[in-house]
Amino acid sequence: MNLTDLGWNKYFEESFKSFADKDYIVGKIFIEQRHLYGIYTELGEYQGEISGKMRYEAEKTGDFPVVGDFVVLTPIHNEKKAIIHAVLPRKSKFSRKAAGVQTNEQVLASNFDTVFIVTSLNGDLSLRRLERYLTMAYESNANPVIVLSKADLCTDIEGKLCQVEAVAIGTPIHVISTVDGRGIDDIKKYLKNGMTAVVLGSSGVGKSTLINYIAGEELLLTGSIREYDDTGRHTTTHRQLVKLPTGGFIIDTPGLREFQLWDGSEGIQETFKDIQEIAKGCKFRDCRHDKEIGCAVKAAIEEGILDAKRLESYNKLQRELRYLEGKQNQLIRMNGKKRVKDLCKAIKNISKKR
């Protein structure tokens, strides 16, 4: 397996120049489990661990390797192990706020070309959740594609397709079924040699089943449909990069139970570009689309041009993003104060020694 097959290009080659004069090689993370990493290299597969220096210098969890990352490493050939020294800058990444009360970024995957947002047509379809996924997909710096799965279980495909088209303006949408094979060839076009996609969606929408179908073998565990709520069982427990017969790669991810924004200012604008366009007609530039006089957005709702629930979703994501930005700024200030305090302490210690 050569680096070009793994998606290596001039962007990464330029980033690696500062390491090229040392005894380092490049690899790509294909699986991450309990701080151990499976790595593809031109010399074969290695099991990697982070170096002590890298662990010490990492300022946040997002600095550690994730599936899809190109990493700089030193191989231990006779043991098929490697020490990871650095992560090359990511051309794309998918992040969320880590679960819990602390304000930390959790990077889920990186260096992909396409984001497959998978939602099933039987009972899982939620337009509001789809808007949230789209916001983060656009923010990732990759191209979002909506995949409507389990078409064989849906009796009103056209109706649901119209609903999705209304909130996913300009985004490619594909209706698929792994039972009768419809739409699968369209998905394969995004997975040619050197191309990588990441699959996102809630538990049980058929992500692993789709990957197995394209791969032509049972690479990933899948769950059956639960009769009482028309959903599938959660099966994927970790992220992994899967090589496909088409020549490309796909990153499977666990179903996201808690999905909070980490960043999304550009993604919100792209996802809700219909509201952004209508808002240009508002009387006031800082219109909140609430009770202001001359609000074009509220007028569009009254005229039936815009769904009121879509505006509610837009406002909710905006509030969430503003709150998160406030927490992030607070964290930056606290870290800055800590660095100053540590520096002053170090200076005092040096003075005492003199």
Binding site, annotated residues for GTP: 149-152, 201-209
Long-range CB pairs of 163-170, under 8 A, 24+ apart, other chains included: 163/125, 163/127, 164/125, 164/127, 164/130, 166/127, 166/307, 166/310, 167/127, 167/130, 167/131, 167/134, 167/310, 168/130, 168/134, 169/273, 169/274, 170/273
Distance between CA atoms of 179 and 245, rounded to whole angstroms? 19
Q: What are φ and ψ of residue 134, in 5° steps?
A: -60, -40
Distance between CA atoms of 16 and 122, rounded to whole angstroms? 46
Work out whether strand 36-41 and strand 25-33 pair parallel, antiparallel, or are unpaired: antiparallel
Residue 105 is encoded by which pair of tokens? Answer: 């970024």
Distance between CA atoms of 88 and 14, rounded to whole angstroms? 10
Binding site feature residues: 149-152, 201-209, 282, 287, 289, 295
Q: How many Å separate Cα 335 from the centre of its chain?
A: 26
Residue 177 is encoded by which pair of tokens? Answer: 């079924």
CA dihedral 33, 238, 186, 150 (to 10 degrees): 160
Q: What is the DSSP string of 195-223?
A: -EEEEE--TTSSHHHHHHHHHTS--S---
Binding site feature residues for Zn(2+): 282, 287, 289, 295
